[in-house]
Chains A and B, each alone.
Chain A
Amino acid sequence: MPRTIERDEVYRQLTPIFHALFGNPSLQLSDAMTAKDVARWDSLNHINLIITVEKKFGIRFTTAEVTRLQNVGQFVDAVIQKVGSS
């Protein structure tokens, strides 16, 4: 039985992760938002983001994805796709 997840729902669950990881509770996520737009989204915290998202949604990103995921929209797409295929 494949799971599905709505875009809004992914956003709803990603938001508190971003708030806690980057220490900014007023951050408003958008598809185009990249590391440049967010203080503390550096290469270290990128990894922390990856593993926190993996845990939250019960998925595992591939080596290529770890490198490729650059903005919030790509994260959301990847989560929807992975959750759907798991």
Chain B
Amino acid sequence: MMGSLDWLPKPPENWQEQLDASGRVSEPATRLERLWPLSRYRLDVPQTLSLHRNFRAGLEQTGHAIGGFTTLRAAILASSTVEHLIPFIELAAFRRRIILEVYTGVYGQYRQEIINPGSELHRFRPDVVTFALDAAAVPPQGNLLVSPEELNEMIQAQIGELSVLWEAVSRKGWTVIQQNIVVPTRAVLGHLDAGVPGTPRYWYNALNDALAAAAKNHGTLLFDVDGLASQVGKDQWLNEPLWHHAKQSFSPDCAPLYADHLTRLLAGVRGLSKKCLVLDLDNTLWGGVIGDDGLENIEIGQGTGVGEAYVAFQSYLRLLKARGVVLAVCSKNEEHNARLPFEKHPDMVLRLDDFVVFVANWQDKISNLKKIAEELRLGLDSFVFFDDHPVERHLIRQAYPMVEVPEVPEDPALYVACLSDAGYFETVSFTHDDTQRSAQYAANRKRRVSSGVTPDPQSFLKDLNMKMTVSPFDGVSRSRTAQLINKSNQFNLTTRRYTEKQVELMQRDPQMLTFQIRLEDAYGDNGLISVVILRPFTGSADSRRIGLIDTWLMSCRVLGRQVEQEVLNVVAEQARRRGFESLRGEYIPTEKNGLVRDHYANLGFIQESADSSPQNGKTIWQLPLADFKPFPTMIQSRILEEAQNA
């Protein structure tokens, strides 16, 4: 249905009973874990509100921090009423395991709130600020006879005003999201409107184009609400009675969809988007069952509607692959049958080498999916499982609640819409590294296979011919740096998340030593794989001599390759040159970073006496730099001292 979250399954009959039972659990963390699965259904307004009430209750006492959930503070500064959207937005975030705190000022007052440092907004300290302007807030200027040149000047003036606000907000280190304007469809002249600069339609279209360009320039994220409204249908999107009655800028029917899209961007800021799409084969990539119907009879290719629908779906999957989504196959089939269409069928768009992992056997998909995750060294929470078979979907949902499992439509013609609408792979940046992702994962599997047959790990590492490049944070790689900071869970000592804006502030801070580390090897470029942030430790008297390792994280793709030793060699050397006498490391345990519990011990750091360590299992480590001897490694490193600023 228009405007609803069709990729989510319908709630089960006993949804309300489950909610009542879970709501009675008193321990906050347990209650949230029990309530969370209930958020992953297509809920109506009353269901949304009652689930929202239930999961918000009790969060105040915990200060909103609950293990396994990310917290985020978002301000929405709007020219219309948005308060009613809060439950929808907070619920959509909860579905993504984000405990979101939303602040909405008084509508229309956003300029004052930004300018006045004593305002509620400043006290709220948002991570992200969203500017939600509707058409009425930026009315067309000039008359119907305005010239394109005059119009352009007025548009630029309007953009200039907004940029001032963006700048004020981003200077605080807050990430900015700017909504574009939902272009009104009602015509003045009729079809001529699109070509006459003086009409509202022309004005808003020009304004949106200019907004998109300015946002990209400024590093502001664009929320394409006009695109969303167009997809729903603008007559459906707008509810005139509610606009006039309550200044709600779109129909509450569309609130779940709006909220889902806004939180996609927020999740993107937090690096929570999915990485790998696991696909079934029969009736998912082609019509029919290859093992029964044979190569000639499966439906794929031009000529029949169904065959063309599968071609369209495969073409879309190729686009996803090109933008960095890792594709895998998980099918119940004889392997040679499963491969046959890819090898022999002329109408297949996808080829075997489009998939990083290809699993076709008769084992259950629960264990196969786990195997795929292990092979790729990706957490199951990075996966989307796309399968036409409702039973398989049900089993995966039961076994792995962290895996996203869309309700696959019956008609393959709607497969593309399903995947696209669900927005699992939403990203706030797109870099060259993303386009190489599939190749990188494939190369990694190759490396692991070859490490399996090479008896001597040292000579395997030597043959890899690894070259590491270390440089301070720079403008060119900032998006990718922020991405890595927000995505890395396993090899991450402190799991501190920083937005792109905060990364930029660190880059400019002369007190900080920042390191972005790239690795190339015989199989290709691994891209940016590690980040270290060093700042003066301010917690003791002679603190200026101690360098605190605020952040140390690494992509698990390069585990076991001596990268961490080589990184320490570089960091220690640079820290010494900066006048530090020792390094202070911290390990803050989370559910996911057990891998690096002994990281500092392995690197020769000395643990501080236990009683000086705070609770929560955090451990603190010291490394005196005077007698530090670099680790011998098989990695050649190159240090670029100048940042490539942009």
Contacts and interface: CB of A to CB of B under 8 A. Distances in A.
Nearest to B85: A44
Contacts of A47: 84, 242, 245-246, 248, 252
A45 B240 CA distance: 18
Given A44-B84, A52-B45, A65-B241, 5 more contacts: A47-B84, A47-B242, A48-B84, A51-B252, A60-B241
Contact of A44 (B46, B83, B253): B83
B47 interface: yes
Interface residues of A, number: 20
Given A23-B53, A43-B246, A47-B246, A52 B84 contact: no
Contacts of B83: 44
A63 B84 contact: no
B49 interface: yes
* Main SS class of interface, B: helix
Interface string B1-29: 00000000000000010000000000000
B46 A66 contact: no
- Classify the secondary structure of A's interface with B: helix
B260 to A, nearest CB: 18
Interface residues of B, number: 21
Contacts of B241: 60-63, 65-66
Interface in B448-501: none
B244 interface: yes
9 smallest A-B Cβ distances: which pairs?
Answer: A20-B46, A63-B241, A66-B245, A44-B84, A51-B252, A21-B46, A52-B45, A63-B244, A66-B241
Interface of A: 17, 20-21, 23, 43-45, 47-48, 50-52, 55, 60-63, 65-67
Contacts of B49: 20-21, 23, 45, 48
B50 interface: yes
A55 B246 CA distance: 19
Contacts of A66: 241-242, 245-246
Interface string B231-261: 0000000011110111010011100000000
Contacts of A45: 49
A18 to B, nearest CB: 9
B150 interface: no
B35 to A, nearest CB: 15
A62 B245 CA distance: 10
Contacts of B53: 23
Contact of A51 (B45, B47, B50, B240): B45
A45 B87 CA distance: 11
Contact of B47 (A20, A44, A60, A65): A20
Most chain A CB inside 10 Å of its own CB: which residue of B245, B251, B252:
B245
B46 A63 contact: no
Interface in B111-166: none
Contacts of B244: 63
B364 interface: no
B375 interface: no
Nearest to A62: B241
Contacts of B246: 43, 47, 66
B115 to A, nearest CB: 28
Contacts of B251: 51
Given A21-B45, A47-B84, A48-B252, A63 B50 contact: no
A61 B248 CA distance: 15
B252 A63 contact: no
A2 B419 CA distance: 41
B44 interface: yes
Nearest to B48: A48
A72 to B, nearest CB: 16
Nearest to A63: B241
Contacts of B45: 21, 48, 51-52
B15 to A, nearest CB: 11
Nearest to B248: A47
Interface in B39-76: 44-47, 49-50, 53
A52 B246 CA distance: 16
Contacts of B46: 17, 20-21, 48, 52
Contacts of B47: 20
Nearest to B54: A23
Contacts of B242: 47, 50-51, 66
B448 to A, nearest CB: 52
A55 to B, nearest CB: 8
Nearest to B243: A63
12 contacts: A17-B46, A20-B49, A23-B53, A47-B84, A47-B252, A48-B45, A50-B242, A51-B45, A51-B253, A61-B241, A63-B241, A63-B245
Contacts of A65: 241
A23 B252 contact: no
B247 to A, nearest CB: 11
A21 B45 CA distance: 8
B252 A67 contact: no
Nearest to B86: A44
Nearest to B16: A20
A51 B273 CA distance: 32
Contacts of A17: 46
Contacts of A43: 246
Interface string B305-344: 0000000000000000000000000000000000000000
A44 B252 CA distance: 11
A62 B45 CA distance: 20
B41 to A, nearest CB: 15
A63 B245 CA distance: 6
B131 to A, nearest CB: 22
Q: Which of B46, B49, B242, B244 has most A Cβ within 10 Å?
A: B46
Contacts of A62: 241
Nearest to B47: A20
Nearest to B252: A51
A20 B248 CA distance: 23
B50 A23 contact: yes
Contacts of A55: 44, 253
Contacts of A21: 45-46, 49
Contacts of A63: 240-241, 244-245
